[in-house]
Amino acid sequence: MRRHTITPRPDWQRTVEAQGLVYPLTRHPDGSLRPYWDESAYYSFTLPEVEALEETVETLHGMCLAAADHIVTANRFADLGITDPRVAEAVAESWHRRAELPSVYGRFDLRHDGDGPAKMLEYNADTPTSLVEAASPQWFWMEERFPGADQWNSLHERLVAAWKKQAALLPPGSPLYFAHSSADELGEDLMTVAYLKETAEQAGLDTDWISMEEIGWDPLSGRFVDNQLRFIRSCFKLYPWEWLTTDRFAGHVLDTLDNGGGTGSTLWIEPAWKMLL
């Protein structure tokens, strides 16, 4: 693995914004604005290095699933701050029924210096972002700067394939909603949800979208509804389970949770067991 320095493209900010990265700058604690998207350096890998990283990530993912299983089996939810018995029960049930629940993606944050296997810093398995920049501007940057080169990047194709694979687990006759919080000021959550919605549509799914704040509760039918009072049967939410199970509608979420058993009302993606990771 080698780190290379390179001159950023002229007008790079406008370019990446047009490709969906509408948050190219970030504000640091001192108040200064600095590039979030940084193309002044890149990394090159040999094929064996890429294959080793793929193997490492597969191993890490398996270890994380084993850890989740241990938490459920040994009832160690309190160690993760999950102290509400109803939430713990919902997470456990979703874990046991995980083969029946749609699950699309997660994001590893790794530390890697090219010497030995990469180390895991974080596994964001519930509300992972960094997706738009990795799937779109990063790929187009390579095509513009290094035509004919290859990139360890098949995000777009894999997401479309994932939606096709999960389609049979979605409730029929209802669109899959995509939701983000309108409190997001940078546009990162909005663009992430918009991109995921696009990949789902390319997989042939019927979709719609809504902000989390617009989701309503119909006390007559006991269901979550959109702003036209249509029943929300399934929803991908870029909204952490930690919030979903503690805000004012938490009781309704747990009462109507579809964990694959056919007894609930709303199927949330990612599933509740992802909270453990």
User: What is the Rg, in whole angstroms, of the alpha carbon atoms belonging to the chain?
Assistant: 20
Q: Is the pLDDT of residue 15 over 80?
A: yes
Residue type, position 224, single letter: F
**CA dihedral over 6, 11, 13, 15, signed as positive or negative:** negative
Residue 272 parent element (H or E): none
User: What is the mean predicted confidence (pLDDT) over 201-226?
Assistant: 95
- Which of 71-75, 91-95, 188-192 is predicted with the least confidence, judged by mean pLDDT? 188-192
pLDDT single digits (tens) 52-65: 999 999 999 999 99
Question: Which pLDDT value is given to residue 90?
Answer: 96
Q: What are phi and psi of 240, to 5 degrees?
A: -60, 145
Q: Which residues contact 156 (CB under 8 A, 6 or more apart)?
A: 135, 136, 139, 199
Question: Which pLDDT value is given to residue 116?
Answer: 86
Question: Which pLDDT value is given to residue 261?
Answer: 65
Average pLDDT, rounded, for the chain: 93
pLDDT single digits (tens) 186-199: 889 999 999 999 99
Strand duo 107-111 + 119-124: pairing: antiparallel
Give the Cα separation of 186 and 52 in Å (integer): 35
pLDDT single digits (tens) 151-178: 989 999 999 999 999 999 999 989 999 9
Q: Is the pLDDT of residue 267 over 90?
A: yes
User: What is the mean predicted confidence (pLDDT) over 211-229?
Assistant: 94
The pair of three-digit structure tokens given for residue 96, joined into one six-digit string: 């046991």
Question: Which pLDDT value is given to residue 121?
Answer: 97
Question: Which pLDDT value is given to residue 35?
Answer: 83
